[in-house]
Amino acid sequence: MEMLTCWISLLGYFVFTLFTADNRGSACEAPSSLDCFKKSVNETVYICEWSMNTTDRDVKFDLHLDTFSCKNNEIRGIKTTTKLIVEECVFKHKAANIAVVAHVGNSSCRSAERSVELIHTVKYDPPSNITVSWSLNNLSLSWKAAEEAPALAEIRYRQDGNLTESWEKRLINTTLLKKHSFQAVHNSRPVPKEEKSKNRVIIVNLRKHSAYHVQIRQRPTQVKNPLWSKWSPAVIAPAELEYAPQVNVTTKLLSGTREVTLTWKPMPGAAAVVTYKLKYTQFSHGHHCAETATKPRHIHTNNYTVVLHVSYAAIEISITARNEAGSSPTAVVQVPAVPVPNLQPCDRKPKFKKKPCRQWFEVSDDNLENVTISSQSTKDNIKAVKKDDLKDYVGYIYYEHIRDGGKPRTVKTCLYYKDEGEPHGTPQNFSVVSETETSVNLSWKPIASADQRGFLTHYRLCSVKMNSDQSTECHNISATLTKYHLENLTPGARYDISLAGVTKVGEGPKASATVNTWPEKHENVWWVFALLFGLTLIPTICTIILKRTRHKICPPVPKPIIPSFSSHQADDQQEMHEGKEEVHELMVLQHPGEKSDRDNAEETIDLGEEWETGIDKDVEGDGEGLKNAQEISREDPGCTDQLLRRSTEGEITDLEQLDNEIAMLIYKNGLVFDVKADLS
């Protein structure tokens, strides 16, 4: 009984498993999005494709096509969702009903049947190899054309960094660019020979300083039943590289080699991934560099610093930044040749263990100490040439280089002429700068390089006095000079001066100038006038100085005048004693008529007594005494004699004392009086 129960349970489990597997196999989802088409109008192979939402790998499909003539209108056992059908197996001019049956395990499901006219159904591949470029604020997109006909494109885009915002869409008819057309548009890169034409669309009114994510799909415009292609992978249209790289150059001399360091700032972040391309002209790494001396070298880098080792010759370096949107303007760096003072003509070639690289650079101007090179114009300062292209009578800067430790090293620099001739030009701007009585200063610029036609050995300067029988005097001066001081000329004369360049072949044409020397100056006459003027001026100045000094050291003493004490002056003198003493001009006043010596003596004695006592006596009383004495003298001359004699005998002592005091300097009220001098 127990055994029977076990077998029944096992049978039930088997039935349940079989039922479950059958139900699981019947869960089949019908295929969708069935299309049959060709990729271009002229294509002879049709493609049928569909989609199915399943994860089962063991799925097979049957394609039913009622216009299929090769295998009973169906193709069985297809393991992919795509099938290629050659044009010979279908009736292409007849509408066909198509369907797909999917087989998943033991179940099957069929897609909806649809009718298509194969010959008019075209579906392009999604755009690929999309290139972008900017023109102002317009974004140009181009890709390989599916066929030689325009198409309709749908573009969706959004700014980089805003991936959450919705797409903006535009429908634009493409412009078909032939090979030569789009090579001119995208001139930054060459077009391969096998590359086909391109479709181009332009999205206007964007921001060229911003980056965008862009996707494109396209469909034909020349058929009845066009189908949209799939969306292209998203491409990034970076911001435009509007400006050339800002390059800084530093140069370091290393014994015949220059270490040139180039640095530049990175481009803005919206420019996305940027690469830099360097191009410069330098001789090759091999020994036979004469043939490849002008071949440009290219360097691609993502760095912002590049170190180059170059020779002493002039080079030109161009730096260009590039991203997916195109190239920036090119930054051109001129690295001039290392200046060689007093460049000498080339002599015999030295011998080296290593075969040197030889370079000739044609000079087209006269600044040999700042020589640059350019490969874009024939009118540049200097241009490299090959030995076989050297011309006669043309100057070249000649370089010899060798490789030393993998680096170029310049071992010789000189001025080279394949063949020399006499100059065909005159020294430029020959003129007289200044002149004196016996000399002139001359200046000029060198002869133009194209007119030298050889290495100048010297200049020949000649001068001749006009309107005279003197012979021409000539001087040879250095070819490196541009100024000269000509001496030993005659004052007040007119000279004709000429200058010509000279090579080893001969003398060139002369540049001339006329000059008049200054007349001779009579300097002796001016010296005599100057001496006389000095002799007259110096004594006058000395006299003035001495007088001023004497007055300061010994000021003059004023001399007062002693007035006579007449009766009519008594009142005035009384007022004078009472008031403030004043200084007046002194005058000697005498009584009318002649007076005897005795009278004078009496007046002198009275005056001396008044000044000696220093007591302010009444002037009026003195005047009355003097008046009485005068009246007695007039009435009795004998009395007068007696009084005089008495005065002489009895008062001799007073007179002597008065004489001594009068002989002294009397100071009164700030004045000094020499009374004796006035009385004598």
Q: How far apart (Å, rounded) are the C-alpha atoms in residues 223 and 119?
A: 9
CA distance 235 to 201: 15
Compute the distance between CA of residue 632 and CA of residue 169 in angstroms, rounded to an integer.
159
Around Cβ 57, how many Cβ atoms within 10 Å? 6
Q: Is residue 295 part of a domain?
A: no
Six token digits for residue 164: 């959450």
- Of 196, 217, 237, the one marking the end of a domain is 237
Angle between helices 652-663 and 597-613 (to 10 degrees): 70
**Count of domains in the chain?**
5
Angstrom distance (rounded) from CA 518 to CA 154: 91
Residues 153 and 183 in one domain: yes
Same domain, 128 and 233: yes
State the alpha helices, DSSP H only, in 72-206.
179-185
CA 440 to chain centre: 39
Residue 88, beta-bridge partner list: none
Alpha-carbon distance of 161 to 676, in angstroms, equals 127
Residues 433 and 470 in one domain: yes
Q: What number of residues does the chain have?
A: 680
Q: In whole angstroms, what is the distance from residue 269 CA to residue 378 CA?
A: 39
Rounded Cα distance, 97 and 114, in Å: 5
Neighbours of 177 (CB within 10 A): 18
- Decide if 314 is inside a domain: no
CA distance linking residue 656 with residue 177, whole number of Å: 151
Is residue 249 included in any domain, yes or no?
no
Residue 263 belongs to some domain of the structure: no
> Is the domain of 537 the same as that of 624?
no
154, 197: one domain = yes
Q: What is the Cα–Cα distance from 629 to 647, expressed in whole angstroms?
A: 13
Same domain (yes/no): 146, 44: no
Q: 586 vs 352, 371, 522, 619, CA distance in Å? A: 119, 101, 62, 19
Place of tokens 């001594």: 660
Helix, strand, or coil here: 37? strand
- Residue 336, C-beta contacts closer than 8 angstroms, at least 6 positions apart: 314, 370, 371, 372
DSSP class of residue 267 equals P
Q: Helix, strand, or coil here: 556?
A: coil
Phi, psi of 111 (to 5 degrees): -75, 165
Q: Residue 600's domain spans which residues? A: 567-679
DSSP H stretches of helix in 131-226? 179-185
Distance CA 319, CA 247 (A): 8
Backbone torsion region of residue 432, taken as left when φ is above 0, otherwise alpha when ψ lies between -120 and 50, otherwise beta: beta
Asked which of 77, 107, 122 is the last residue of a domain, the reply is: 122
Q: How far apart are CA 511 and CA 508, in angstroms?
A: 10
> Is 233 found in the same domain as 129?
yes
DSSP string, 278-313: EEEE---SSS--SSSTT-EEEEEESSSEEEEEE-SS
Quick one: 142 and 106 in the same domain? no
Q: Round to whole Å and give the CA distance between 632 and 634.
A: 5
Distance CA 557, CA 672 (A): 7
- Tell me if 57 is assigned to some domain: yes
Is there a single domain that holds both residue 110 and residue 73? yes
| Whether 118 and 128 share a structural domain | no
- If you ran DSSP here, which 8-state letter would residue 631 be given? H
The answer to whether residues 583 and 531 belong to one domain is no
The DSSP bridge pattern shows strands 121-123 and 225-227 to be: parallel
Q: What sign for the dihedral angle of Cα 352, 355, 361, 367?
A: negative
Nearest Cα to 275, choosing from 315, 310, 233, 241? 241
Give per-residue pLDDT as tens, 16-52.
444 344 444 446 788 998 988 999 988 888 899 999 8
So what's the pLDDT on residue 524? 61
Q: Which of 71, 95, 122 is the last residue of a domain?
A: 122
146 with 188, same domain? yes
Spatial separation of the C-alpha atoms in residues 297 and 294, rounded to whole Å? 9
- What order of strands is seen across the sheet that includes strand 138-144? 131-135, 138-144, 198-203, 175-177
- 0.85 exceeded by the pTM? no
The answer to whether residue 591 sits within a structural domain is yes
CATH assignment of the domain containing 173: 2.60.40.10
Q: Which two tokens stand for residue 371?
A: 């020589």
Q: Which residues of the chain have pLDDT under 70?
A: 1-27, 68-73, 179-195, 282-295, 348-354, 364-388, 521-526, 551, 554-680
Cα separation of the two ends of the chain: 201
Residue 198 lies in a domain: yes
